Structure 1
């Protein structure tokens, strides 16, 4: 089946089930105008994150990898009025775009974007006793995914959900001979999750507007 067919199906699903609104459209436009890479989640994927966070009854969300704040808006909209979302972004320019997009969506009181290397910021969150978080979305540099998952468990509670994006790597995740650092780290992360005594997980392949990829979903056990 061709990419054109996948894209057409995604477009149909988005139009029917996850239509863009002013804030989301503006976030995409502002991110494009600022020259950010066009790697944000698709609308139907953003809606999936939103529904997962709603079903989880999340009050505190931690996002690792903000980019332009598109997924941040979807997630923050799942929070109650007194909820909190902290999003970690390495690039200050990306963070500036994300903050403006979040403010335009009326979520600046709910969302805090922190700038810096995520491993440093995660340690700061632990020192601040900022957790536990109910929901984690990991979508940053792939070579650190094993570390990010370990931090998510550290900052979690029993029942917390962890979503890790981009785990299929265009199918190369199944290649045990790959020397690609992102593939190697993704495989280490999946093996870590599979062996972790506190995690129960699955992974799902996807096709569509963001190509051939997929995500991992894990639940922190008691």
Structure 2
């Protein structure tokens, strides 16, 4: 996740009920006795200490994506937007068979992520690539099409929002049939449906929703959500 096109410059919309439900549910569905708790907590603490913005996936979202990968039997996944490695650690620590390639534009973020991933003992299964998504993804696509890199069974896109569709389209070209693609932060507190708003981040959400809806490669849906990290939502798509 990059820092310049997300909620870093916005205020979260928060509700005590949303936070309470997340805290209550996660305490039972993923208690602190789970083996990956220390690694996940370290990723958040170390990222904050390094000055990274608090815009990672929520614990519930991280585990949900990890469970989706387990359900799909994903062995190779792609993430666009690493931030401090929190969601990457969720995906791989919950799925021992999974290998993740994650792309991060900001060199400082990538450095912090690598240290957090090393602390989690996952450096052998998580490849952090520092570079612009629109530079890195075409290279990955070439490797996939040449048979040098396996196709991806899951893709999580959480980077600069104006490029949502560009990342999605490239990811779809590298994904396996029946793979899932998740694009984060497309609802943006309902702004996506307010056509008087021309914020590039909001327009990026509209573009990926509208283009995915008419793309014959995929079938898609948008799910709104509330929780400790705002009122927002994701686009979910499955490769045909």
- The equivalent residue for 1:36 is 52
The answer for the alignment partner of 1:77 in structure 2 is: 93
Q: Answer yes or no: is the 8 Å Cα contact 2:66–2:95 preserved in 1.
A: no
The CA RMSD measured in Å over matched residues stands at 1.2
Mind listing any 5+ residue stretches in structure 2 that lack a counterpart? Answer: 1-13
**Structure 1 residue runs of 4 or more that deviate by more than 3 Å after TM superposition:** 78-81
Residue 174 of structure 1 and its aligned partner are, at CA, apart by: 0.5
* Structure 1 residue 80: Cα displacement: 3.8
Aligned partners of 1:212 and 1:139: how far apart in 2?
Answer: 16
Q: Which residue number in structure 2 is paired with residue 110 of structure 1?
A: 125
Give 1:172's aligned residue: 191
Distance 1:79 1:8 in 2: 28
CA distance in 2, matches of 1:78, 1:198: 29
**Structure 2 partner of 1:146:** 165
Could you tell me which runs of 5 or more consecutive residues in structure 1 were left unpaired when the two chains were aligned.
none
Give the aligned partner of residue 115 of structure 2.
Answer: 100
1:38-76 alpha-carbon deviations (Å, 9 max, x no partner): 011111111101100100100000000000000000111
TM-score (norm 2): 0.88
- Higher mean alpha-carbon deviation, 85-94 vs 5-14, is at 5-14
How far residue 169 of structure 1 moved from its aligned partner, in angstroms, is: 0.8
| Structure-1-length-normalised TM-score | 0.95
Match of 2:69 among 50, 53, 56: 53
1:204 partner SS: strand
Measured at CA, do residues 17 and 200 of structure 1 come closer, stay the same or move farther in structure 2, by a change above 3 Å? same
Out of 11, 18, 24, the position equivalent to 1:6 is 18
Aligned-pair distance for 1:77?
2.2
**Equivalent position of 2:139 in the other structure:** 124
In structure 2, distance between residues paired with 1:46 and 1:110: 17
Return the alpha-carbon distance in structure 1 between the equivalents of residues 219 and 59 of structure 2: 27
SS in 1 for 2:204: helix
| Among 167, 177, 182, the residue aligned to 2:201 | 182
Would you say the 8 A contact 2:168–2:208 is kept in 1? Answer: yes
Checking the alignment, whether the CA contact within 8 Å between 1:17 and 1:44 is kept in structure 2 is: no
Q: Which residue of 2 aligns with 1:163?
A: 182
How many residue pairs get matched? 219
